[in-house]
């Protein structure tokens, strides 16, 4: 069940507010801490998320998510303090919220710009997921408690199932605790597997951050594999 335009738009802006608050809470020494994202520090993770939003606000959409663009986003912000990173995100978040406000349903269902395979709405949901998951990468690196409930987790489950469907995984019905059901492939018939369990664990497993065996799945569930 896809999320509505109103839900994604409001949730994404709220997620960016939370990410800004998280970055503001960091000591500058925290920025050098290693994360579970191989080769990335806390500061690199923050720079990627903030750089993505700065690019989107400025209309630089081509290549988002590619190694080359991600590397540029990080390098452009090398040496900045946590406060400077948070201030940049505050400006980009305002520009992004203003942009979201002008999209109608037709625009939301149109192909996403910049080469992303999906609709504009799918692309915004992907940005929401990226912000939610990378916030957890930062918390995990610093020994802080994960956010294991809420709208950001729901968006992440939605995005992961969308990506799994694009990769031909399934068919399956993803029916995780406290979440709506998401169909992957031509699911729903008799005998279609139902994936149940903890949604946060599922997202970690599906993004290579946890052993998929912990949720009863194999490595094919990793959308980055």
What is the token pair recorded at 11?
């949730």
Contacts of 206 (CB under 8 A, 6+ apart): 160, 164, 212, 221, 222, 223
**pTM given for the model:** 0.95
Do residues 52 and 63 lie in contact, with contact meaning Cβ atoms separated by under 8 Å? no
What is the token pair recorded at 193?
């597997």
Query: Tens of pLDDT along the chain (225 residues)?
Result: 579 999 999 999 999 999 999 999 999 999 999 999 999 999 999 999 999 999 999 989 888 989 999 999 999 999 999 999 999 999 999 999 999 999 999 999 999 988 889 999 999 999 999 999 999 999 999 999 999 999 999 999 999 999 999 999 989 999 999 999 999 987 555 678 999 999 999 999 999 999 999 999 999 999 999
């Amino acid at each position: 069940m896809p999320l509505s335009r109103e839900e994604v738009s409001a949730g994404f802006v709220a997620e960016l507010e939370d990410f800004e608050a998280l970055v503001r809470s960091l000591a500058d020494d925290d920025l050098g801490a290693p994360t579970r994202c191989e080769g990335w520090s806390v500061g690199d993770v923050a720079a990627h998320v903030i750089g993505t939003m700065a690019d989107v606000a400025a209309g630089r959409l081509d290549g988002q998510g590619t190694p080359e663009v991600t590397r540029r986003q990080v390098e452009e912000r090398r040496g900045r303090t946590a406060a400077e990173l948070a201030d940049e995100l505050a400006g980009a978040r305002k520009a992004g919220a203003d942009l979201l406000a002008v999209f109608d349903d037709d625009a939301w269902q149109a192909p996403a710009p910049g080469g992303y395979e999906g609709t504009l709405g799918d692309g915004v949901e992907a940005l929401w997921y990226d912000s939610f998951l990378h916030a957890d990468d930062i918390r995990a690196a610093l020994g802080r408690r994960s956010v294991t409930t809420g709208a950001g987790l729901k968006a992440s489950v939605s995005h992961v199932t969308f990506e799994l469907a694009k990769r031909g995984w399934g068919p399956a019905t993803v029916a995780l605790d406290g979440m709506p059901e998401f169909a992957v492939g031509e699911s729903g018939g008799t005998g279609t597997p139902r994936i149940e369990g903890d949604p946060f664990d599922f997202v970690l497993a599906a993004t290579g951050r946890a052993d998929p065996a912990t949720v009863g799945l194999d490595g094919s569930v990793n959308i980055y594999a």
